[in-house]
Structure 1
Amino acid sequence: MASPLFPLTLSLITGLLLARYINLPLALTLILFFFSLALAWFFYLRHRLKASLALALFAFLFFGSSYYLLKNEAFEANPLRSLNSQEYLDFEGTMEKTPDFYGDRYQVLVKTEKIRFKGQEQKVSGRLQVTFPASAHSPAPEFLAGDKVRFSARLLNDDDFSNFQEPVSLTVMKAHLIHRRAFSKSLLLLDKTGERKFFLPRLFSWLSRKLQQKIEKHFRGTEGQILEEGAFLEALLLGERGRLSEETLRGLQSSGLFHLIAISGAHIAIISYFLFHFLRLFRLQDQLRSFLLIFCLLFYACLVEGRPSVVRAVAMALLYLTARLLWKDTSVLNSLAAAAFFLLLLNPLQLFEAGFILTFMATLTIILFFPRIKKYLPDLPWRLTDLFILSLTAQLGVIPFVALIFNRVTLGSLILNLPAVPLIGLIMAAGWLFFLISFLSSALGSILALAIKEIIQLFFLIAHLFDNFKPLSYRIPSPSPLIMAGYFFFLFLLILPRRFRFQRPLAALSFCLFAFFILFYPFPSSTPELRLTFLDVGQGEATLIEFPGREKMLVDGGGFQDNTFDVGEYVVCPFLWRRKIKKIDYLVLTHAHPDHLNGLKAVARNFSIREFWEAMEPADSKDYSEFISYLGSKTKRIKYFRGKKRVIAGLELEFLHPPANREISAPVSNEDSLVFRLKRGRGLLLMTGDIGRPSEKELLEASSELEAVVLKSPHHGSRSSSSGPFLDKVRPQVIIISAGRGNIYGVPHPEILEEYKKTGAIIFRTDVDGAIELIFREKELRIRTSRTRLDILHPLN
């Protein structure tokens, strides 16, 4: 067998998948592992090799399941995982790497040793990722790996946004073996107390920081900030992407060229190519050249402080080079399998991280399909044919996973990679030369930096070539596991030995069909009943209303005032894509406050919007103007005021506030909120925005009917709203409060909670229950919650 490790690795991965998605008990998987292993050995002794091999594969499968369960249990058993304090704790530990800078914040990774709280000290060993806000009043932290530190921080929960799915942050934490995250309000709370002696990572941390300083010096703007070209070079060579602007990152993602700055297989291939040809100049023997190349790759992996993407790519390269040293005939597929097997033995939890999946799937499809496709294409100059096939075959492996994980299709990268990949090679070569020259001569370093800036600007130009051609880059719902299974089954069936007549034509047609399903997702999202979902967006509001049939309405989108976290991009949009939603029929903004508006920017950017509803347009709001700029020209903008009505899917929307003659306040006020009632014979839902008691009084005076089964609590349950007469008039059976966990505003207010209890209504809170889903049936209401995992049927009175 040319690649014996490939089926073993495939078995191991299958076992990991079973353990993750099927709730198998550890005892059962261990019994099956030892039983399969014993049977495999028994048949081997009987010289029944095929049966022995099949049972050995089953043994590896159950080993994978057992190993995953043991590692996951060990991760969850770490003492940092069980700490529940929401107060500031004092930590002591050791820096594991240089702090990462993300423009408005720093992130440090610390191996904790001690925790102090209220005079008590406890030894706690675990890996803690701590975020510190960047501030002009606090100097940048000059820390290196191996520094002993002391700091105060508050532990964060894994499920800050709980919306019926395991948080992505937890998957990433497990993949990187980070046991907990924490936040500290100031860098002044971080002190160095010593340093670890004879700690090799400290040397590489120091060298990496020196190289960063060279970029900061020669790529500095007029106001002292690092230029975008410098931030790009830093990301490309050192893996530090934190200083790239959101605009640049979004442009690279949209163009499909983001993989070129995420140091991975392409970078290691380029580095290996340059080093290999450089070493050939010295007429060294192949073995010595391979040894030197292995040393250089190991050095680079240490220089970027063991970033996972680099470790994966270097592991693949090292295993291949080592195999070439030991054996004359080397299987690239076997080296790939060996790298995956080795890395999964180190940490099986990383199998489910996006970077791991994309790296190995791209490499696998390149290995399997590159030589087959190359036979049918002519050789073009400058290796354009090879570049195109590399791009095409890599896309074959990653398109379904990019659609699943990032909900993105980027067809333009097939063309853009042709000029972009060689340009990246040139930038990398010039960048490493810049590092060398800048240490020898600052003047020469500055001259070379100018040339590198021009080349990077050319790369930026290429990345934006197709910005206005939307069919080459768009967002789609996540494909189902069945569609992905069909895609890969027929893709690999194309290259398997022919077993029946018309195998390849049938496989090709079926593959194209499943590829079409992934690329365009032609399945409309529909529901037979009225379904409401109040999303957990932290301190803000976002509500999805799915009408019977296919029409969807999104009311508000959450958001943070300082825009430090894009709730729309990372919370609201992913939820909509998981619901298989491609377009929003009605996008509603109750009022233009950041905690209702800012999340809608991403929604407008990523979805087709048929109609946009509002009441009061703010006079001067940068966030609002940005949001409006994302709405397409085909989006119909409508203003609704008291007295207007609209019928959707047999349900009537009655608009109750504000009155048409209301003058907008500057800035926009909570009392400007759009209020509407959804009814079908009886009142089903009352959406209230952030109105306070003055508007509640207006509603009582102007409306004869306010009764509703579900009341969306006004102004997050604050003390300034939810008056007694208002609640008496609404007579809700269910009250939904949207608020952030541990918010600084003290909402919902205890007094208001007591008022809600007096109504006899069931109370749900997004800060406690996570997202809340309500499905209206003829005589009952089904209620599900994400964080507290309730699933109840409530009879409608």
Structure 2
Amino acid sequence: MGLNPYVRVRVSQVKQGFTRGGSLSRVLSAAMAAAVAAAGRPSEICEGSARHAPWSAPRTMRWMVAATVAAWVLGSGLPLAGEVAAAGLLLSLALVCLLPRAWTVSLGVLLAAMSAGALRGPTEPWWTAPPKPVALSIEGRVLRGCDGHGEFVRCVVATEAMGTVSLRAPIGRCEAAPGDRITAIVSAKPVVPWRNPPIEDPSMQSLRRGVAWRLETARCVVTGREAGALDLLRREARRARRSVDSALRRSLPADGAARAVALLFGDERGLDEATVEAFRETGLAHLLAVSGAHVAVVLRATGAAVLWLCNRLRWLAARGLGWRCARVLPLPLAGFFVMMTGESPASVRALVSGVAVALLSLWGRRARALDVLALTVLSMALIEPALTHDLGLQLSAVATAALVARADVEAAPKITQWSKIALAWVLGALRATVRVGLAVSPLLALRFGRAPALATLANLVAAPLAELVALPLSLVTAVVAMLSPTLASPLAWVTGHSLSALFSLAAWAQRVPLASTAWTTPTAAQAAVATAALVAFATLRWRARAAVVVAAAAAIASMEGRLRSEQSAHGELRVTALDVGQGDAIVVDLPDGRSMLIDAGGALHGEADPGATVVVPWLRATRRTELAVVALTHPHPDHGGGLRAVFEGVTVREFWETGQGGALAMGGFYREAVTAAQRRGAMRREAAALCGAHPMGAVTVTVLAPCPTMNPEVAPNDASLVLRLDHGRASALLPGDLEAAGERALLSRLAPVTLLKVGHHGSRTSSTEAFLGALRPQVALVSSGHPSPFNHPHPVVVERFARRGVPLRRTDWEGMVAVTLRRDGGYE
């Protein structure tokens, strides 16, 4: 059966668009129109769809492409079951085929994109039981060079037995480059994300990229080389990066060189923590990350130089090829620069967009920025779905979309007076920064729970200073310094002062009151509604904007009310063990709405800080922005390593601890936590003042040990702060890491409990028969690593609870565990 006349007309429009130099928007519009019309043939299931008018306006098409990409990205972040996603696809098909209005077709396309993204979105971990660490010998091929991270280097290695793995080695002990074949004796640990709904562990991104194992080695040996063309380019890019670093260090002071490296390559290792925090809090962190702006600067600078040179070559100038050279020749250099910076998704996106614009320009086609952006992001997401979860790519795409969305409809004013030109430039820059700030605010609030209040004003000055002055000067200084350090001296002086001005601006903005505004972390649905409202607000007429704002506010408020209701303890006592790996972080929700935090986990063996990556994000996401009490049971890093992030991230009224850390003059994480508590105004109380009962509404919190005073000579585990919680006939005991000696000392003060938090993560030195006999718990929960480096909980302890018929709730098996204790003595 042939095409109907309407389809033939649309197909001819597609052909004309390609042959007559039509814009990409019109070609895409006609192609989609032809596809929709073709679906209306009687032989297809969408019978009758051809009578619906398809979209033909370029502006509508551009927004439709952008919205489809956004829906696909949003869907890929939703952990929907396959059946739900499949049902979404069927529903979208029904909307497109059965309902006779154009807006239902649009809704159907968006729903289909979201469902398709969900089918390729986050998946459950690949194991059925927590695997154990293993030691073995591996052989593999380096995919990414071994780049330094503090005292270690990290490589991405392809192996036959374990697939793609991440390898960590001490600095100087694994000098491998892309394409090298290596051997090493390694300790292999599986990538096991911490499971604490509704937040997601960052290590899920490793699994999405196919990296399921983290390896550690003391030394690797390069045994050969299998370098292809891409590997050779990456190898040369690493050499060039080191040359640039050396040139900057020779020509600039130590602090200036570190700033230039951070600005050029996004390498923050040479900067102090306070400087990095200043950029984050003031909304300038994107200046210290390789983004599309870096690639754009390289393309524009090299393009201008190539155009100047080509126009002076008579043969090229006579044939009008100068502009073609300026379009094409900068691309290889920009690609090499992207390799030098580590190939971040945001820089790759900018490079691909640059290539697309150049090709379309050479082909004689008009390339609209929003079309190129949407198709670039969609193509990258289809090739590598894990990229949709990369924050850098998300921010880059959203910010770029906000900048270019209205570029086609805002005509440049015809101004000849310099004063008016300057005013127009300032107003245009202000509008652009406001658009970008509003566009990325839902994403920043979703990821970090805060949005910089001064971001618009700070970026108005800092962005031009960085991208038009400091960044080009740093790049030129490095190039000239590699050729002649003497010639680079004047440039280095100017570069150093421009960098000082930029970093001083960030430090000044941080000192301004309310420089960074803490938000309640929105849910993904709330962020999606806010983003949709911002898009609608930017595109609709003024009369419709008020309705959009009211509808969005009502939807977000409704979602907020439902979330707070779900998180409320509803007059009962709830004990939640967060999944922080090998450590403890226990949240206690009291019936009156207040909350306590007992310990905050800690980083072991170079892992991420669970206080910053789990505890604080979870507290914000579940609307616990104030804690009545934060307690440190004993000064060990797996219990207190995350406390500093907690004190800095939420409001804390009281800080309870044993006082042993102060008596032993401990530093490190303990000193950082105490300092942070004092700085944030938390009242510090030690064991001597805590022993006894503390009524907290309908719950009585009793400190049983170390009482009456803390003995600094006792081992920290046996000097743990032991808390008993009584709620009517229900009770819970939280013994910290109490071991056998501490349990014996406490036996005379023990009474039966409903819930027992198993001491010392289930070590066989704890949970003795006498201790369990005195407590007679109805249910027990244990917080341990998965896999645990200490074999916790120990099989002997597991057998003790099983023999007594006590259900054992385990974070290594279940992830986050919550137990609600009712006043009548029951639990659920």
TM-score interval for Structure 1 and Structure 2 normalised by the shorter chain: 0.7 to 0.9
Q: Does 1:431 align with 2:431?
A: no
Mapping of residues 349-360 of structure 1, within 5 Å:
349-360=386-397
2:245 to 192, 203, 215: 215
2:185 to 138, 152, 174: 152
Mapping of residues 751-762 of structure 1, within 5 Å:
751-762=796-807
Residue 151 to residue 29, structure 1, CA distance change in 2 (3 Å): farther
| Contact 1:162–1:770 (Cα < 8 Å) also in 2 | yes
Residues of 2 paired with 1:220 and 1:550: CA distance?
59
Residue 327 to residue 483, structure 1, CA distance change in 2 (3 Å): same
Residues of 2 paired with 1:34 and 1:601: CA distance?
48
1:626 to 659, 672, 691: 672
Corresponding position of 1:559: 602
Residue 779 to residue 565, structure 1, CA distance change in 2 (3 Å): same
Deviates more, 1:101-110 or 1:599-608: 101-110
Q: Does 1:164 align with 2:197?
A: yes
Residues of 1 paired with 2:240 and 2:538: CA distance?
49
Letter in 2 for 1:289: A
Residue 738 to residue 634, structure 1, CA distance change in 2 (3 Å): same
Residues of 2 paired with 1:627 and 1:289: CA distance?
55
Q: Does 1:130 align with 2:130?
A: no
Letter in 1 for 2:202: S
Q: Which whole-Å deviations, capped at 9, do the CAs of 1:714-766 have from their partners, x for residues lacking one?
A: 22233433333222111111222222234444433333333333433212232
Offset, 1:638: 2.6
Deviates more, 1:629-638 or 1:275-284: 275-284
Q: Does 1:194 align with 2:224?
A: yes
Corresponding position of 2:67: 10
Q: Does 1:767 align with 2:794?
A: no
Residues of 2 paired with 1:371 and 1:67: CA distance?
29
Residues of 1 paired with 2:411 and 2:674: CA distance?
47
Mapping of residues 49-198 of structure 1, within 5 Å:
58=108, 62=112, 65=115, 69=119, 86-112=133-159, 114-115=160-161, 126-132=163-169, 134=170, 139-164=172-197, 167-173=200-206, 177-186=209-218, 188=219, 190-198=220-228
Deviates more, 1:680-689 or 1:381-390: 381-390
Corresponding position of 2:652: 609
Residues of 1 paired with 2:681 and 2:631: CA distance?
16
Corresponding position of 1:22: 80
1:398 to 428, 440, 444: 440
| Contact 2:727–2:822 (Cα < 8 Å) also in 1 | no
TM-score between the two structures when normalised by the length of structure 1: 0.82
Corresponding position of 1:236: 263
Offset, 1:605: 0.9
Mapping of residues 677-716 of structure 1, within 5 Å:
677-701=724-748, 703=749, 705-716=750-761
Residue 664 to residue 201, structure 1, CA distance change in 2 (3 Å): same
| Contact 1:33–1:60 (Cα < 8 Å) also in 2 | no
Residue 532 to residue 455, structure 1, CA distance change in 2 (3 Å): same
Deviates more, 1:60-69 or 1:726-735: 60-69
| Contact 2:130–2:786 (Cα < 8 Å) also in 1 | no
SS at match of 1:477: coil
Corresponding position of 1:788: none
Residue 515 to residue 85, structure 1, CA distance change in 2 (3 Å): closer
Residues of 2 paired with 1:681 and 1:38: CA distance?
57
SS at match of 1:96: strand
Corresponding position of 2:6: none
Residue 246 to residue 21, structure 1, CA distance change in 2 (3 Å): same
Deviates more, 1:96-105 or 1:743-752: 743-752
Residues of 2 paired with 1:445 and 1:480: CA distance?
51
Offset, 1:554: 0.4
Residues of 1 paired with 2:727 and 2:93: CA distance?
61
Q: Which whole-Å deviations, capped at 9, do the CAs of 1:662-687 have from their partners, x for residues lacking one?
A: 44349x72233211211023351111
Q: Does 1:674 align with 2:721?
A: yes
Residue 10 to residue 155, structure 1, CA distance change in 2 (3 Å): farther
For structure 2, list consecutive stretches of 5 or more residues without a partner in the other structure: 1-56, 312-321, 414-418
Residues of 1 paired with 2:755 and 2:454: CA distance?
46
2:530 to 471, 487, 497: 487
Residues of 1 paired with 2:257 and 2:155: CA distance?
22
Q: Does 1:503 align with 2:534?
A: no
Offset, 1:32: 5.5
For structure 1, list consecutive stretches of 5 or more residues without a partner in the other structure: 116-123, 783-792
1:343 to 380, 388, 397: 380
| Contact 2:779–2:806 (Cα < 8 Å) also in 1 | yes
Offset, 1:330: 3.7
Residues of 2 paired with 1:601 and 1:16: CA distance?
34
1:407 to 449, 452, 474: 449
Corresponding position of 1:318: 355
TM-score between the two structures when normalised by the length of structure 2: 0.80
Corresponding position of 1:652: 700
Q: Does 1:267 align with 2:294?
A: yes
Residues of 2 paired with 1:460 and 1:315: CA distance?
31
Identity %: 23
Q: Which whole-Å deviations, capped at 9, do the CAs of 1:698-726 have from their partners, x for residues lacking one?
A: 3223x2x4321111122223343333322
Residues of 2 paired with 1:534 and 1:719: CA distance?
20
Letter in 2 for 1:106: V
| Contact 1:127–1:178 (Cα < 8 Å) also in 2 | yes
Mapping of residues 536-615 of structure 1, within 5 Å:
536-560=579-603, 565-615=608-658
| Contact 1:32–1:59 (Cα < 8 Å) also in 2 | no
